[in-house]
Amino acid sequence: MESDEEEEYTLQGPVDDEGFPHGHCTLAYTSGDKFEGHFDHGAKSGKGCFHFYDGSKLEGVFDGGMLQGKGLYTYEDGSVLKGVYVDGELNGPAEEFNSEGQLTFRGQYSNGVKCGFCWIYSADGGCICGDVNDEGEMSGNDIAYIYPDMKLALIGSFVDGEMVKGKLAEVVGINQDRPQFKMVSDGGIFKCDVSTSNSISSDLQLPDPYEQQMVYVGASTIQGASEGLFMKVPVKEDKVVAFYNGLRLTHAEVDARDWSKNGNTISLDEEIVIDVPPPFDDTKHYCASLGHKVNHSFSPNSKYDLFQHPRFGFIKCIRTIKPVSADEELTVEYGYDHHGCGVDNPDAPDWYKEQMKSLKGKN
């Protein structure tokens, strides 16, 4: 990247007496990369920017042909890395942000590799922190996943950010950017336990500790519903309160079934549907997650959202969209397809169609 002599380029801009770039120039390399900035007798000097063939770019101040000091790398997807460069390599503090401006990484680099104590943030509000290994991976025996409330954590063995085994702890403070923990006795042992098409969990009765502090199952206040999910504590809007784990099926498998078998299904992505079939819909048989207990409403107080869980993997969660009081029932808009069969005849179970007709009658 820094050695212009090793790659052919086309020059636009002034040159010195020996034909080297001098002043503000643009170099278009045969690789498709481009550099635009100031040169001093052939060496990049001052503000400049590399535009790479894949759409990413690196900008900052160059000295002696190399990037020095603060630099900004923008990935092709719009996410950015802000860091300190020494002789063209990341060396020092750095932060990364996704394309929406949310912080995704905070820590240190040494010779272009993450080092020391680092934080990796998920868009859902959770984070992983600890000392990375020599390869810059979040691997070790003292790594912590911290839930979105920044109060509860699972501490233990991780390999490249994936939990192998963790124990419950409380976050009691932050000292020099390192969280301080207090282990919870008899808090259970947790591991990465991503469901499959025939296994919902290896420990059906081990509740999620964060969810356990947030919600409880009770008799629903909604007509025709049996059980529902209620808040234990009051929460503000935009708060993750429960998790929706289940068997992982394909859309084709679910679409081929009768609606009577799809009472607890939710689309995860274009390929996977999460399902909590009998007997797992009964907390006597499964209580590791409770998101499937949330009932439908056309005036909901919550929504489904994506979540990267340390135990369940990539799942859905329940996130509030307005303040919810203690003992108030959580509701979401189930979001059945109103277009495939017509706006007034959605592809949905009968009870949903009846509720929709009743709502339109009131209006």
Widest CA span in the chain? 87
To 5 degrees, how large is the angle CA 174–CA 79–CA 316?
70
pLDDT at 4 over 60: no
Q: Residues 209-251: pLDDT tens digits?
A: 999 999 999 999 998 889 999 999 999 999 999 999 999 999 9
Who wins on pLDDT, 322 or 4?
322
Model confidence band, residue 363 (pLDDT cutoffs 50, 70, 90): low
Where is average pLDDT lowest: 91-100, 269-278, 330-339?
330-339
Give the amino acid at 161: G
Residues tagged active-site: 244, 292, 296, 304, 334
Percentage of residues of the chain with pLDDT beyond 70: 91
Where is average pLDDT lowest: 13-22, 76-85, 105-114, 339-348?
339-348
Average confidence score pLDDT of the chain: 92
Model confidence band, residue 187 (pLDDT cutoffs 50, 70, 90): confident
Task: Give the length of the chain.
Answer: 363
pLDDT of residue 338: 44
pLDDT of residue 346: 59
pLDDT of residue 335: 75
pLDDT of residue 7: 79
pLDDT at 349 over 70: no
pLDDT at 59 over 80: yes
Q: Residues 154-180: pLDDT tens digits?
A: 999 999 999 999 999 999 999 999 999
Give the amino acid at 8: E
pLDDT of residue 354: 65
pLDDT at 31 over 90: yes
Model confidence band, residue 339 (pLDDT cutoffs 50, 70, 90): very low
What's the mean pLDDT in 182-200? 95
What's the mean pLDDT in 265-273? 96
Closest listed residue to residue 157, CA positions, set 184, 125, 189: 189
pLDDT at 116 over 90: yes
